[in-house]
Amino acid sequence: MKRALLALATIAVLGGAATVADAQNLQVIQQRREAMRALGQNSGLVFRMMRNEAPFNLAAVQAQLNAVLEHAPRFRTLFPDDSRTGDTEANAKIWTARAEFNAVIDKWVADARAASTAIVDQATFAAEYPKVAPACGGCHSANDSFAPALSQSFRRAQTPLR
């Protein structure tokens, strides 16, 4: 009888610990999604500008670069070890190649910072923004990446947590 009670108590404690961990996971995963949502607000327009499918809009470009400067550095801390599981599609490579992941983030921020001061018109946009854009593919490439395809990640960012 004592063993049964001890076993039930252990299960209850472990279940409670799992609930706390899940709550932490949900919070940080939600923060990641919010950051991706913010990054996605102007990204489609800016990528269409890069392909000459939309007219140049300096305000949209600067808004996108400001979003990168505000949210990208947060990705260094938005993947703690306790967020590997849960309602996330982040690839395990984020945790197994942390230095590489952080280097991609750091380069992205540095390139965005340089572009934000250099881009003043369509010509400088055409020259400078292509230095920023590859960071997206650095995390969201088709092979051996840190995250699913970019379109899938943006779509997932819009989905409420389960």
pTM of this structure:
0.77
Q: Report CA-CA distances (Å) from 143 to 90, 91, 93, 138.
A: 14, 11, 11, 10
Name the residue range of residue 132's domain. 2-157
Q: Is residue 136 part of a domain?
A: yes
CA triple 43-44-46, angle to 5 deg: 65
CATH number, residue 142: 1.20.120.10
Q: Are 107 and 139 in contact (CB under 8 A)?
A: no
Number of domains in the chain: 1
> One digit per residue, pLDDT tens: the chain, 162 residues?
555 544 545 554 444 444 444 455 788 988 988 998 888 888 889 999 999 999 999 999 999 999 999 999 999 999 999 998 888 888 888 999 999 999 999 999 999 999 999 999 999 999 999 999 888 777 777 666 777 666 666 666 666 655
Q: Is residue 162 part of a domain?
A: no
